[in-house]
Each structure stands twice: as structure tokens, then as C-alpha cells.
Amino acid sequence: MDRHAPVGVYDSGVGGLTVVREIRRQLPAEQIIYLADSARLPYGDRPPQEIQLFARQIITFLLSRGVKMVVIACNTSSALALPIIREEFSLPLIGMIEPGVTAALRMSGKGKVGVIATQGTVDSDAYGRMLRKHGVKVYSQACPRFVPLIESGHLNSPQMAQAIDEYLGPLRAAGVDALIYGCTHYPFLNSQIQGYMGQTKTVDPAVEAVRQASLCLADMGLISPVKKNRDLFFTTGDPKEFARRGARLLGQELDRVEQIDLNAEG
Ligand code: DGL
């Protein structure tokens, strides 16, 4: 394997760009190949078997592009697919759940941790199970309206303010001292959520996930010494739309966005 080989990253939509942002910060010499499965978004309400099928298709596609690792920049896929498909692939797959738990345990003083996520991630209890093993009291909350509002750019809308109040009100009242962003879309709401939650520490699993990805690459001697190629973005949806939304959320233009039909890839 070549050290210059790209790192594959995928999500259902723009959420994984919060992980891209973190990879660019911690591993600036890595080329990223990103896939947004926008045509099948949201993942949050889909059954586990479907999420597993999508994960297999996407990882197979990323492998065909020569990636040396895949960062599953989607908590729903990390919770519902990663434990099932991990053994099917021989390259390293980095998910969001364990890193999110590790980071939350470090940050929580009182051991009262809130988890906000999609319905699928909450139902899987992936975060809850791991956190409770450490004696933590867990408060999970599904936030199904967040992803559609973020995808459509309504970050500062009255609908968003209302959704934040409805979903986070009970967690604030419970006095959680750390709040895990259990969906990669949610760090885009960081200022709104921090404003609402006051003293609660917010946890973006991407920071720890990318740290683990970096250790894993270093272990294999695969850290890229210099960035040779530009990042590439693929979407199963409308590439212009993805480029527009992505650039607005990231605050910088996306290098190149192409459309891909995963079913045609075989
Ligand atoms: N960003 C994703 C996650 O981390 C998926 C959101 C969705 O498509 O529902 O769970």
C-alpha cells in the first residue's frame, strides 16, 4: 500500500464534512475521497439491513478508488453496520461510536452524559451500552428534525430553535455535564447548541476518531508525507447542490464534486 493513497470518508450527506474538517486539521497531508449518499438520505430512519447494504456498497466503491482506510463519518452506519461488516474487509475501518465514548468519558466530571443522535443510533443503544459499562448515567435523545434542517441550510431558523428546545430541553433539565454529538451533522449546530446548553461540555467524536485514524496510519507506516492530489467528493445525489451546501457549511469551496451511481458500480 502506498502512503499517498487516499483516505476514504463517507456519510449519508453533508454531515461527514465535519469529519473532513477534522482530518484536514489533524492530517493535512492526506488526500480525502468523500462519498455522500445524498440520494438515500436520511439514514436515521432506515432498518439496519439497509444501512449494512449501503455500507458494503460504499466501502467497495471507495476501495475501487484505492483508499488505504475508510473513516465511517456517520454514526448511524457506525452503530448499525460497522460491527457486522468489519470482518468482511481487510482495510482499517474507523467508526464514530467508540471514539465518542472515549472522548465523553474524558470530559464528563459527574458521569451524566447526554447523547443526541438519529433514531437508528438511539434505538441501537450503541453509545448507551458502552457508556454504562463505565458506570455513566446516559440520557439519549433522537433528534429526527435536525438532519433535514441542516441539509436544507436552515441552521438559524425558528424551526431549528424550536427543535433544539424540544430535543435538548429535557437533557438540560437533567443536568448532563457532557453532551455527545452522536450524528456527524450536529457539530454544524455547535454554536446554537452550546448557547442553549450553557455549561455542558459538548463532545464531537470526530476529534478522537481522527486521532485514532492517525495512530492507525502511523502504526502501518501509511501517514502521507505530503499532499500530492486534491480531495475528491462524490455524491449519489445532485453534485451542484452538494457542492453549494458543502461549501456553505465548511466555509470553503469543495475541490471537485462528481455524481456516482452505486448500483451501476456493482
Ligand atoms: N450523519 C449521519 C449520522 O452521523 C446520518 C444522518 C442521517 O442520514 O440520518 O448518523
In the chain, what are the domain boundaries?
Answer: 7-95+207-265, 97-205
Q: Could you identify the atom of ligand 1 that is nearest to the CA of residue 73?
A: 4
Catalytic pick among 5, 27, 58, 74: 74
> Which residue shows C-alpha cell 493513497?
5
Task: Give the distance between the most distant pair of CA atoms in the chain.
Answer: 51
Catalytic pick among 14, 62, 117, 183: 183
Do 7-95+207-265 and 97-205 have matching folds? Answer: yes
Q: Where are the beta strands (DSSP E) in the chain?
A: 7-11, 32-36, 69-72, 93-94, 112-117, 137-142, 178-182, 201-203, 232-235, 257-259
The answer to whether the CB of 12 is under 6 A from ligand 1 is yes
CA-nearest residue, atom 9 of ligand 1: 44
CA 7 to the chain's CA centroid: 15
Query: How does pLDDT run along the chain (266 residues), one tens digit per residue?
Result: 899 999 999 999 999 999 999 999 999 999 999 999 999 999 999 999 999 999 999 999 999 999 999 999 999 999 999 999 999 999 999 999 999 999 999 998 889 999 999 999 999 999 999 999 999 999 999 999 999 999 999 999 999 999 999 999 999 999 999 999 999 999 999 999 999 999 999 999 999 999 999 999 999 999 999 999 999 999 999 999 999 999 999 999 998 999 999 988 75
Q: By C-alpha distance, which of 231, 192, 224, 187 is closest to 207?
A: 187
Looking at the domain that runs over 97-205, which CATH code has it been given?
3.40.50.1860
Q: Check residue 266 and give its pLDDT.
A: 56
The whole-model pTM stands at 0.97
| CA gap 243, 263 in Å, rounded | 22
CATH fold for domain 7-95+207-265:
Rossmann fold (3.40.50)
> Which residue shows C-alpha cell 458521569?
111
Rounded-to-10 torsion of CA 81, 102, 61, 144: 60
Mutate which of 11, 50, 54, 116 for ligand 1 pocket (most atoms within 8 A of beta carbon): 11
The answer to whether the CB of 185 is under 6 A from ligand 1 is yes
Cell of 113: 452524559
The answer to whether the CB of 77 is under 6 A from ligand 1 is no
Give buried/exposed letters for 120-151 (b at 16+ CB in 10 A, else e): bbbbbebbbebbeeeebebbbbbbebbbbbbb
| CA gap 146, 186 in Å, rounded | 8
Q: Tell me the one-letter amino acid at 248.
A: R
Q: Check residue 71 and give its pLDDT.
A: 98
CA 10 to the chain's CA centroid: 8
> Which residue shows C-alpha cell 447526554?
114
| CA gap 90, 82 in Å, rounded | 13
143 is catalytic: no
DSSP 8-state class, residue 131: H
Strand-pair partners of 181: 116
Q: How far is the CA of 217 from the centre of ligand 1 (A)?
A: 25
